[in-house]
Structure 1
Amino acid sequence: MLTSFLTSCNGYPRLLNFPFEPGGRGLNSFASELTPQVTASYIVFVSDRNGSQDIYLFDAQKRQLIALPGLNSLDEVASDPSISEDGRYLVFAMSRQGKSNIYLYDRQTQQKRSLTDNLQAEVRNPVINANGDRIAFEIAQDGQWDIMVYDRSGNPITTF
């Protein structure tokens, strides 16, 4: 498991050493690789390797990128991805024509949908919990940044 890659026998973190792939088909490339998030099996990150700021998913056990059909678009700028522990759900911020939204992508159905279209506020920095049923993100309302928590369906959670 990837967690064994992340710590050595004495518990101190160590560098993940994946080979460089000049063609952009691996984890490391000539492009900028931004905001990585790691689970036991996956690394999700943003890269500009194809000329736009897109989300990439790397399977650390198979040592290869995983296709994400329907996720990335040339007219959108992706940022801050987060992934559920099983790798099924990804959340991320997406900006299009100056409007930011938080999106959920389901790898099983290959569907991307906005969770925050109805909010008249700026949103950023989403994270998803391990089992993929709660998403937290920052929201700018009333002149300050606050934290909102939604369920996977896009409904606010007010009690814990």
Structure 2
Amino acid sequence: MKFILLSAIATLGLSACTANLSFQQLPFDAGDGTINSPAADMEPQMADRYIVFSSDRRRRQDIYLYDVVERRLIDLPGLNAQDAIANHPSISQDGRYIVFAMIRQGRSGISLYDRQTRQLRNLTNNLQAQVRNPTISADGSIIAFESSVNGQWDILVYDRSGRPLDVPTDPR
């Protein structure tokens, strides 16, 4: 049996984060039925009962969602695309919203998936810059990510609808 040590983000916020460390003993499956597989499972993030991660299980890098309570992978219709590379996922506390970085046709973007409506939206479609490392607030209303829009890596903050938020950059 394979063991996984997960650093789980329980509460995400712009002013403070509370991190919990949990140890999960989960079954191994040579197929796609569980979280432990022979594939490379990367960047796990945990919120409440869910673990979201990227994996190369189907010979492409996709986003997966595992329910720790039900001990199974959850179907995410409309999230993964054959012509895209998905990575660095983050999930809202209730598991409704998943944000992740996606590269399609050589262009990076930050995508938001709503599990309730099964809709996927590119939040940075109009941003002419490279983007990476998104994270989402616990309630799913705020997304922060890195952007090269100013020729360096800066943090941008958007609301869930894809509008940039005016966040002061001077900490004084």
TM-score, reference length from structure 2: 0.84
The more displaced of 14-23 and 31-40 is: 14-23
Equivalent residue for 1:74, pick from 78, 82, 87: 82
Whether contact under 8 Å (1:6, 1:16) holds in the other structure is no
Q: 2:33 aligns to what?
A: 25
Q: 2:111 aligns to what?
A: 103
Name the CA distance, whole Å, in 1 between partners of 2:7 and 2:103: 32
Structure 1 regions of 5+ residues with no counterpart? none
Whether contact under 8 Å (1:122, 1:140) holds in the other structure is yes
Letter in 1 for 2:152: Q
Whether contact under 8 Å (1:125, 1:138) holds in the other structure is yes
Q: CA deviation at 1:6?
A: 7.6
Name the CA distance, whole Å, in 1 between partners of 2:140 and 2:37: 29
Whether contact under 8 Å (1:102, 1:123) holds in the other structure is yes
Structure 2 regions of 5+ residues with no counterpart? 1-5, 9-19
Name the CA distance, whole Å, in 1 between partners of 2:51 and 2:21: 16
Name the CA distance, whole Å, in 1 between partners of 2:166 and 2:153: 17
Q: 1:121 aligns to what?
A: 129
Q: CA deviation at 1:97?
A: 1.2
Q: CA RMSD in A?
A: 1.8
Q: Structure 1 or 2: larger strand share?
A: 2
Counting aligned pairs with the same residue, the percent is 56
| 1:58 lines up with 2:69 in the alignment | no
Deviations 1:137-158 (A, max 9, x none): 0000232100000000000111
TM-score, reference length from structure 1: 0.90
Off by >2 Å, runs of 4+ in structure 1: 12-15
Name the CA distance, whole Å, in 2 between partners of 1:146 and 1:23: 39
Name the CA distance, whole Å, in 2 between partners of 1:14 and 1:125: 22
Equivalent residue for 1:153, pick from 145, 158, 161: 161
Name the CA distance, whole Å, in 2 between partners of 1:158 and 1:14: 35
Name the CA distance, whole Å, in 1 between partners of 2:25 and 2:47: 16
Letter in 1 for 2:24: L
Name the CA distance, whole Å, in 1 between partners of 2:23 and 2:166: 39
| 1:131 lines up with 2:139 in the alignment | yes
